[in-house]
Structure 1
């Protein structure tokens, strides 16, 4: 009896019943006659050390992998972006970012967790804490990003913000704040306080649970 296909198992038992390999194979499947997607999925997960490494891989590295190709890469990139947009919509669903910190963290994890280098993001909000704009302001290397309080203040005033949430990623996977993270947070809080703009949180995204400055009593 032939083995049950991933698609059949998904339709009968739901997506949660499938392994990472099977879900990825479904995503990479190109249609009738494509029998190599499961093997390709297995190779990709090994080559990039799992789903997190695969999501962080750049376009050149993925396209260089035998069997990947532009069509499969496009499907993989589209699925990642759809997950990010879904998380953003969930965060905005009630018009109040603070009504669901879990949705906020989920969005930031999707938004930043797959970046191969450090990115500093700002969520600008109005007086009701509704999200006005999400913007990536500073970009760095694995060692950090240069963050300039003046530029953050200019953007906050431009968007009419009353409050902000900062977030950045640690590509190393460790979400604990560094001494530099603490210093720049203090500088940002001080600079925005002069403009009567509140800093609600600074979230660090790593490979595990996100770190919240507010929850740790650092704000």
Structure 2
């Protein structure tokens, strides 16, 4: 007879703690119920067989998740909500620091969101005069260039949030963190515009494949 706890991950969590459960079991708890053809544990296994790792899974869209047998719109939504909670938890551990004083600390906040993006995103992080986190916001998505990135919008947001400092980020889906001529030009325009408005551009950071380039430390 098969131990009933094998098919009941919620009971295993209560008995042994969440850290003792496999990824399949934790995902089964999120999905809550199975279908006529598949148990909830089988559904979780199907999802992870399709995406192999949580890093791959977090790149999936709602539509893509629904191509997995047994995963309908509700369960696809549950999976995406779980992944977003994980990203926000990762961000909170950095946001609650006294201040953001280095590119590494700044990257730690946005990396969970930006690392696996397949399109270019331009994100601004707004800080107060003590470099404490106020807000971060995605301003542009798509093929970015120095024309598209408008200093006006970047610094209007800064004034809206009463920010004294701003850090800008964008990702290179290719993984190459070397700045392009457009990146260099956009950074110069942002820095000059911020000086006119009394809002300091602390840094412009390019996110690549597990690495980053900081204009505040670079030669540009």
Q: What is the TM-score of this pair, normalised by structure 2?
A: 0.75
TM superposition shift of 1:66: 1.8
Match status 1:97 vs 2:100: yes
Deviates more, 1:130-139 or 1:35-44: 35-44
- Kept in 1, the 8 Å contact 2:18–2:26? The answer is no
What is the CA–CA distance in structure 2 between the aligned matches of 1:85 and 1:98, rounded to whole Å? 21
TM superposition shift of 1:114: 4.7
Report the RMSD for the aligned CA atoms in angstroms. 3.4
Q: Who is 1:77 aligned against?
A: 80
The structure with more radius of gyration: 2
TM superposition shift of 1:218: 4.5
Q: Who is 2:61 aligned against?
A: 58
Equivalent positions of 1:99-138 (< 5 A) are: 101-102=104-105, 104-138=106-140
- Aligned pair in 2 of structure 1 residues 194, 154: CA closer, same or farther (>3 Å)? same
- Kept in 2, the 8 Å contact 1:108–1:205? The answer is no
Q: Who is 2:2 aligned against?
A: 2
Q: Who is 1:24 aligned against?
A: 27
Q: Who is 2:206 aligned against?
A: 204
What is the CA–CA distance in structure 1 between the aligned matches of 2:125 and 2:158, rounded to whole Å? 9
TM superposition shift of 1:99: 7.8
Q: What is the TM-score of this pair, normalised by structure 1?
A: 0.76
What is the CA–CA distance in structure 2 between the aligned matches of 1:11 and 1:32, rounded to whole Å? 25
- Aligned pair in 2 of structure 1 residues 182, 100: CA closer, same or farther (>3 Å)? closer
Q: Who is 2:16 aligned against?
A: 12
What is the CA–CA distance in structure 2 between the aligned matches of 1:14 and 1:73, rounded to whole Å? 22
- Aligned pair in 2 of structure 1 residues 218, 27: CA closer, same or farther (>3 Å)? farther
Q: CA offsets per residue over residues 122-163 of structure 1, 9 Å max, x none?
A: 0111211122221111111xx446312222122223333211
Q: CA offsets per residue over residues 52-71 of structure 1, 9 Å max, x none?
A: 23211211121232211123
Contiguous gaps of at least 5 residues in structure 1: none
- Kept in 2, the 8 Å contact 1:84–1:107? The answer is no
Q: Give the secondary structure class of the aligned counterpart of 2:58.
A: helix
What is the CA–CA distance in structure 1 between the aligned matches of 2:130 and 2:157, rounded to whole Å? 18
Q: CA offsets per residue over residues 31-64 of structure 1, 9 Å max, x none?
A: 7999634443343334346322321121112123
What is the CA–CA distance in structure 1 between the aligned matches of 2:218 and 2:191, rounded to whole Å? 14
TM superposition shift of 1:22: 4.5
Deviates more, 1:75-84 or 1:199-208: 199-208
Q: Who is 1:36 aligned against?
A: 39
